Homo-oligomer: A and B are copies of this chain.
Amino acid sequence: MKNNHVFIEKLRSSGLRPTKQRIEICKLLFDRKDTFHFSISDLENNLENLSNKKISLATIYNTIHAFREKGYLKEISINSDKTYFDTNTSDHHHFFDESKKKLIDLNDNDLGKIKIKKILPGKKIKSVEVLVRITNDK
């Protein structure tokens, strides 16, 4: 249970004004032990339930995009209809459970080293993402 002050500082230190909406979203996203994955609609639901205040959808999008730009969140690529975000911003990869539509972290020791041997002149690597799609056995 973190103090709001922690989030106010976090926001201020990256040039974002600590509004009550942003603090509320911070509490839902960052006031917990484990990182997790969510979609905008997940977040929307959690804000309606766990929290009481009503935050407009536009603000939810604005905030999540601001947080992503500030490096508080990672955007995860699944060619699904919706975008997923990750509060784990470290370099890591994912299982995507197609049955449950859920992302699961792959830690460094869950995956061998990825070596990219091809180099394109004039280009630099921005990120390397591994997505392992899984489904129910049988």
Contact = CB atoms under 8 A, between A and B. Distances in A.
Interface of A: 75-79, 83, 95, 97-98, 104, 106-107, 109-118, 120, 122-137
Copy tally for this chain in the complex stands at: 2
Nearest to A107: B118
A130 B133 contact: no
A133 B127 CA distance: 5
A118 to B, nearest CB: 4
By Cβ-Cβ distance, the 10 closest A-B pairs, closest first, are A112-B115, A77-B79, A110-B118, A126-B133, A123-B134, A127-B133, A129-B131, A124-B137, A122-B137, A128-B132
Given A110-B117, A124-B137, A126-B135, 16 more contacts: A77-B79, A77-B131, A95-B118, A106-B116, A112-B112, A112-B114, A112-B117, A114-B130, A122-B136, A123-B136, A123-B137, A124-B134, A125-B133, A126-B134, A127-B133, A128-B131
B122 A132 contact: no
A114 to B, nearest CB: 7
Nearest to A132: B128
Nearest to A113: B112
A113 B130 CA distance: 12
Nearest to A75: B79
